[in-house]
Amino acid sequence: MPVTGLRKIALAVCALFLLLFVPLGAVTVQASGTPAGTAGGGEPSQGPVFILPVDQEIERGLESFLKRGFQEADKYGAKLIVLEINTPGGLVDSAEQIGAMVRESEIPTLAFINGNAASAGSYIALNAKRIVMKPGSMIGSASLVDGSGRSVDNAKLVSFWKSKMAGAAALNGRDPDIAAGMTDINMVVDKPELGVHKSKGEIIALTSDQALKAGYADAVKDSPEAAASWMGYSTDDIFRVQHTSAEKLSQFLTHPVVMTVLLFIGIAGVVIELLVPGFGIPGIVGTLAFVLYFFGNYVAGFAGVETWLLFIVGLVLMVLELFVPSFGILGVLGSISLIAGVVRAAYSFTHALFSLGIAFAAAVVVIIIVAVAFRDRGIWNRFILSDSLSKEQGFIPTPEKLDLVGQRGVSITPLRPAGTALIADERLDVVTEGGFIGVNTPISVVKVEGGKIVVKETRE
């Protein structure tokens, strides 16, 4: 790779780092105050109320965002944290972490269900001190499903998730059997006094009115502000935590399809630049694709500083392979480092390998096409002698003495296996077929290949 190409890549990477890591948006936005009131008619509790949206699939990115939100609430002395929930669910392990964050918060928490608190979203809601639902909203339908949306039949996993849901419900005085019925399709739940009946093969999902009767909602209100007011908190100081520009970009970059495309562009761009140097653009684009991949996963909370280190070390080793003779060792180590960084940066080991496999297969096809199209510019030309020696350049080739084939002579020196022989009254350099021939031994010419004369011992 030319030095200028490397300089371009370095400058582009530095520029991207500056762009991405400068604060990209406001952390919180203060909303206008609304009239306050309390459920008991007393004076409302004064102090900031923080509203944190839970309005996407539950994954490590949401976990990272909510962790920041809880830290901001603590920093500004919030009196109440409202989780405004509208989610289809998501990863169980992330829901567990978020649930623990909600459950262990020293600041009182309120779950306001604005739409659907489905699947893992219902678990997050059940960990809050109070649940208020908007008319027409839903909580429940928390059976385990795999990545394709099919129900998980693993009894051990279902039992684990059912116990987590039941425990979260019991924590705040709610009937644990109803929460268990939200997860286990084979369970029968009959609670006529709570308005809940579930037959085998069904999953419990409660509307706002049903949840209120069953004790799974403490009130039904139209907005999170109204819910906070109902709990007895002043809404003069409302803060709604917003996703930063970096977090929004991270949500896009960590989409499975986008991650696979970035890996494909990264692999293809870097390898093409290494194999067919001189363009510059493939190397820059490939490096930027890798940077975006690691940045998205870093902001989402999947990747740590070590993943950046693995990426940089891998890239440097692959570039050094072009200039330092290592018999491929540096290139192999660089590839291993880069792959390790990609896998560690992803939220799932299995997903990372799957995306990497697809991206690698597609990149190989593109790399082969480019290598064939630009075979005259490839790095392999450095290791192939392409110059020809001709008569016009002053080179006089040794003539083939084909007429010597079959002629006899005698070895002047021992042939081990090369030596000198006298053939047709001419001293010639010869070589045997591989064996040893002593001095003054009769020989005959077996074949002539260019300037090489092959002989064997003959008997009189």
Indicate whether 352 and 404 sit together in one domain.
Answer: no
Q: Give me the CATH number covering residue 137.
A: 3.90.226.10
Q: Give me the CATH number covering residue 414.
A: 2.40.50.140
**Cα–Cα distance measured from residue 249 to residue 231, given in angstroms and rounded to the nearest whole number:** 35
Indicate whether 376 and 426 sit together in one domain.
Answer: no
- Is 386 a domain residue? no
Indicate whether 411 and 364 sit together in one domain.
Answer: no
Kindly state the tokens that stand for 23.
């604060």
SS3 30: strand
The DSSP H or E segment spanning 379 is none
Q: Which of 263, 340, 348, 255 is nearest to 302 (CA)?
A: 348
Q: How many domains does the chain have?
A: 3
**Cα–Cα distance measured from residue 354 to residue 365, given in angstroms and rounded to the nearest whole number:** 17
Tens-level pLDDT at each residue, the chain (460 residues) = 443 444 444 444 444 444 444 433 333 444 434 333 444 445 778 889 999 999 988 887 888 889 999 999 999 999 999 999 999 988 888 899 999 999 999 999 999 999 999 999 999 999 999 999 999 999 999 888 876 667 787 888 889 999 999 999 999 899 999 999 999 998 999 999 999 999 998 999 999 999 999 999 999 999 999 999 999 999 889 999 988 888 778 778 877 788 889 888 888 887 777 777 655 688 788 888 888 888 888 777 666 777 878 878 887 887 776 667 666 677 778 778 877 888 777 766 677 778 888 888 888 888 888 877 776 655 545 544 455 555 555 555 666 778 888 898 999 999 888 899 998 888 999 999 888 888 999 999 999 887 889 999 987 6
Given 355, 380, 405, the domain boundary residue is 380
SS3 155: helix
Indicate whether 184 and 222 sit together in one domain.
Answer: yes
- Is 18 a domain residue? no
Indicate whether 138 and 256 sit together in one domain.
Answer: no
- Is 94 a domain residue? yes
- Is 39 a domain residue? no
- Is 38 a domain residue? no
- Find how far residue 257's CA is from the centre of its chain: 10
Indicate whether 294 and 165 sit together in one domain.
Answer: no
CB 92 within 8 A of CB 67: no
Indicate whether 324 and 350 sit together in one domain.
Answer: yes
Q: How many CB atoms lie within 10 A of CB 101?
A: 18
In the chain, count H helices and then E strands.
Answer: 14, 16
Indicate whether 419 and 375 sit together in one domain.
Answer: no
- Is 391 a domain residue? no
Indicate whether 213 and 352 sit together in one domain.
Answer: no
The answer to whether the predicted template modeling score (pTM) of the entire model surpasses 0.95 is: no
Concatenated DSSP letters of 51-90: EEEE-S-BSHHHHHHHHHHHHHHHHTT-SEEEEEEEE--B
Q: Tokens 């993943």 appear where?
A: 307
Q: Which of 302, 275, 308, 272 is nearest to 290 (CA)?
A: 308
Kindly state the tokens that stand for 221.
């209100």
- CA torsion sign for 367, 372, 373, 375 is positive
DSSP letter (8 states) at residue 403: G
The DSSP H or E segment spanning 190 is strand 189-191
Indicate whether 58 and 195 sit together in one domain.
Answer: yes
Q: Give the 3-state secondary structure of 95-146.
A: HHHHHHHHHCCCCCEEEEEEEEEECHHHHHHHCCCEEEECCCCEEECCCCEC
Given 192, 226, 242, the domain boundary residue is 242
Kindly state the tokens that stand for 177.
């059997």
- Is 60 a domain residue? yes
CB 360 within 8 A of CB 262: no
CB 405 within 8 A of CB 448: yes
Q: Tokens 């977090």 appear where?
A: 247
**List of E strands, 211-265:** 219-220, 238-241
Strands 408-411 and 418-423: antiparallel
Q: Which of 221, 223, 235 is nearest to 45 (CA)?
A: 235
Given 340, 356, 380, the domain boundary residue is 380
Burial 328-361 (b: 16+ CB within 10 A, else e): eebbebbbebbbbbbbbbbbbeeebeebbeebee
Indicate whether 294 and 374 sit together in one domain.
Answer: yes
CB 194 within 8 A of CB 178: yes
Indicate whether 192 and 265 sit together in one domain.
Answer: no
Residues of the domain holding 410: 396-457
Q: Tokens 């991949």 appear where?
A: 293
- Is 35 a domain residue? no
